[in-house]
Amino acid sequence: MSKPMIGSQPITSYVGTIRSNVQLAKLSVPSVVSQCQKRYATLNQIRSGKQGFPTKPNVPKAPHLQGNPFKKGVVVRVMILKPKKPNSAQRKCCRVRLSTGNVISALIPGEGHNVQEHHVVLVRGGRVQDLPGVKYRLVRGALDLAGVANRTTSRSKYGVKKPKD
């Protein structure tokens, strides 16, 4: 008995290539079932006590603080930045190497400052709306950073003691 032939090739060689092509097609086409989709619950599901909305991952606003309210750091460089349009100013900022080793940009709040390189400063979270990439602020009146001179209102925000009357 001779093997069935297609042209000059036996059928078994074609079956092998067809099987490999089918396997390649399965790999290249993404499966709809495997994709994990977050869906809203139906009204009946909510009524029966299921979760109403899919939970979003909690992304920290100040990731380099690692959940702490403050971090200590050393000033690497003091710089002056210009804000985005439509604002116009010269914002005093600095690059700080935190105790964790991360280097961040931080705003120096208030009028005037005594910050120089190698000063040890305290950093808190709080972004500056018109400076892209600046997500941190320095704490006035803590460590090597002095409070604002001649400040009478909002003294607690700028590290100023109560004046002796």
CA distances from 155 to 85, 89, 110, 140, 142 (A): 30, 23, 11, 10, 13
Does residue 22 register a pLDDT over 70? no
Extents of the domains making up the chain: 1-56, 63-157
Q: Please state the rounded mean pLDDT for residues 132-155.
A: 95
How far apart CA 112 and CA 95 sit, in angstroms, is: 17
The Cβ of residue 96 has, within 10 Å, a number of other Cβ atoms equal to 26
Q: Return the pLDDT at 46.
A: 80
Least confident residue range of 12-16, 120-124, 148-152 = 12-16
129 or 44: whose pLDDT is higher?
129
Q: Decide if pLDDT at 127 tops 60.
A: yes
Query: Could you read off the pLDDT of 45-88 as tens digits, one per residue?
Result: 888 877 666 677 889 999 999 999 999 999 999 999 999 999 99
Which pLDDT score, from 0 to 100, does residue 33 have? 46
Q: Could you tell me if 128 and 91 are in contact, meaning their C-beta atoms sit under 8 angstroms apart?
A: yes
> What kind of fold does domain 63-157 have according to CATH?
OB fold (Dihydrolipoamide Acetyltransferase, E2P) (2.40.50)
0.75 surpassed by pTM: no
In the predicted model, is pLDDT for residue 26 greater than 60? Answer: no
pLDDT of residue 6: 66
